[in-house]
A = this chain, B = another copy of it.
Amino acid sequence: MQIAILGTGRVGSALGIRWATHGHQVTYGAQQPDSEEVRKLVEKSGPNATATTVSDAGASSQIVVLAIPWNVTKEVLDSIGPLDGKLLIDCINPIKGDFSGLELGDATSAAEEIAAWAPDAKVVKAFNTVSDASMVNPVYDGQKASMFYCGDDEEAKATVKQLTEDVDMEPVDAGSLKNARYLESLAMLYIHLAIFGGWGAECAFRMVKR
């Protein structure tokens, strides 16, 4: 698949390297695509990866991964042109600067706001409840980290499911996009545990079942 990853921070890098190594075509959208940092990321990602500007990357791909800060999200969406039918994979957590909570209440979510801003796109909330460390190495003692995702378009969700399996995580269908409210709250719990609870980033949620 041809995937644009907007953002070359920890999440964008972790997913990009994994997907590119798996054989997907990855285009990083970076604020400074010619920087040393981005050049190294592309090199590390191998022959399937390139980098360009955020707007060019977003415009050129039918699958767009949002791995950017919440406060620039609307501006980035506006910059990448028509979104008709694109799959937007939203990894964003609208977290307050002090990690004390979410910018949005439970009456909405980043994913729903994004869907309202990009009504022609297919938005799937995903990859927001796992650390980049888990994206890099999602298997814990033989147990895969679960990756919860939700959205309103089944075909788009099937794609995300495949992309999840491609990074060795266990996809868990969490229903409609409205449930992003719970996934964004789940991320807050994760963040609390990782940062304030002493767990660090080398941990993950996993659904166990009989």
Q: Does A36 contact B (CB under 8 A)?
A: no
In chain A, residues 189-210, which have Cβ atoms closer than 8 Å to a Cβ of chain B?
189, 192-193, 196-197, 199, 202-210
Please state the number of chain copies in the assembly.
2
Which residue of the partner chain B has the closest CB to A205?
B205
* Chain A, interface residues (CB within 8 Å), range: 35 or more
Chain A at the B interface: mostly helix, strand, loop or mixed? mixed
Whether B207 and A192, one on each chain, are in contact in the complex, defined by CB atoms closer than 8 angstroms, is: no
Q: Does A185 contact B (CB under 8 A)?
A: yes
What 8 A-B pairs are tightest by C-beta distance, nearest first?
Answer: A185-B185, A203-B209, A140-B208, A182-B189, A106-B106, A202-B210, A206-B208, A182-B185
Q: Can you show 19 pairs from A to B with CB atoms below 8 A apart?
A: A102-B106, A106-B106, A106-B185, A143-B143, A145-B208, A179-B188, A179-B192, A182-B188, A182-B189, A183-B189, A185-B186, A186-B186, A202-B210, A204-B209, A205-B205, A205-B206, A205-B208, A206-B206, A206-B207
Binding site for B on A (CB under 8 A): 101-102, 105-107, 140-141, 143, 145, 148, 172-175, 179, 181-183, 185-186, 188-189, 192-193, 196-197, 199, 202-210
